[in-house]
Amino acid sequence: MIEKIEKAGPSVADALDAALEEMGVQQDMVEYEVLDEPGKRMFGIKSDKEARVSVWLKPGAAKALELEDDGSIEEALPAELVVQESDEFTDEELDAIADVAVGVINRIAGCYGLEPGIEEYEGDDGEIIMDIVGEDLGILIGRHGKTLDSLQVIVSAITNRQIERRYPIMVDVSGYKHRRRLKVEEIARRAAERAARQGRPVQLRPMTSFERKVVHMALRDDRRVTTGSDGEEPFRHVVVSPK
């Protein structure tokens, strides 16, 4: 886990982005100091001096990443989850499911000293989407969304255990998954184009289970290619192959 780093770039924003990418965190999980400003253009000539920043994790963010690394965040998952499958839910039952999920999310967020809002709405496939909104929520997303993935598992499992039935719930933070979905879908389409054009498999970078599912769903109706997952966690990835 990288707790502090210095990076340079053409601008302060570029240097900060480079630091966040290497640390694998969201911007609201860090604090930073500008060490050097980029050189200014003089007499039509651009200076080669780059911006340089020092970036470090906030104390709460470091704690969350430690929990993520040692697996402690998933220890809250019930050891046994015995629930009944059902396709029929009344509006009152759906409201009750959402209320339970909200309670679980608030308890977990409270452990980090957070009091976020939660926006509830129905997804395209009928799932209940719980979008956690507020300030300084990068701690709930984690590196490349890993903490959010764990949060998804925990909230779904505890909610289904409490209601003794199973219903799809998706947990998001400030629309992170929605934005990530759009980006991964574009990556999937470009990979399909390349696989079809070159006539050989294209291996994508390692992805989370959520991202891999997005790729499979994005290309399931593409008659030119097939998709499959390969490798072991945390290096499991999607391979897009021409038909």
pLDDT tens across 23-62, in order?
Answer: 777 676 778 888 888 866 544 555 567 889 999 877 656 6
Residue 81 has pLDDT above 50, yes or no: no
Give me the percent of the chain exceeding a pLDDT of 90: 28
- For 230, residues 6+ apart whose C-beta sits below 8 A from its C-beta are 203, 236, 237, 238, 239
Parse the chain into domains and list their residue ranges.
Answer: 4-57, 72-174, 184-242
Distance CA 136, CA 179 (A): 18
Of these ranges, 45-49, 52-56, 71-75, 161-165, the one predicted with the greatest mean pLDDT is 52-56
What integer is the mean pLDDT of 210-234? Answer: 89
Structure tokens that stand for 212 in this block: 């891999």
From the number of C-beta atoms within 10 Å of its C-beta (0-12, 13-18, 19+), residue 153 rates as middle
Distance CA 139, CA 133 (A): 12
Structure tokens that stand for 139 in this block: 């701690």
Provide the pLDDT confidence category of residue 184 given band limits of 50, 70 and 90.
very high
Give me the percent of the chain exceeding a pLDDT of 70: 82
Structure tokens that stand for 172 in this block: 């998001």
What predicted TM-score, i.e. pTM, was given to this entire model? Answer: 0.61
Main-chain phi, psi angles of 31, to 5 degrees: -120, 155
CATH for 184-242? 3.30.1370.50
CATH topology of domain 72-174: GMP Synthetase; Chain A, domain 3 (3.30.300)
The answer to whether the peptide bond before residue 201 is cis (omega within 30 degrees of 0) is: no
Residue 163 has pLDDT above 50, yes or no: yes
Distance CA 164, CA 209 (A): 25
Residue 79 has pLDDT above 50, yes or no: no
* Torsion angle (degrees, nearest 10) of CA 162, 100, 129, 62: -90
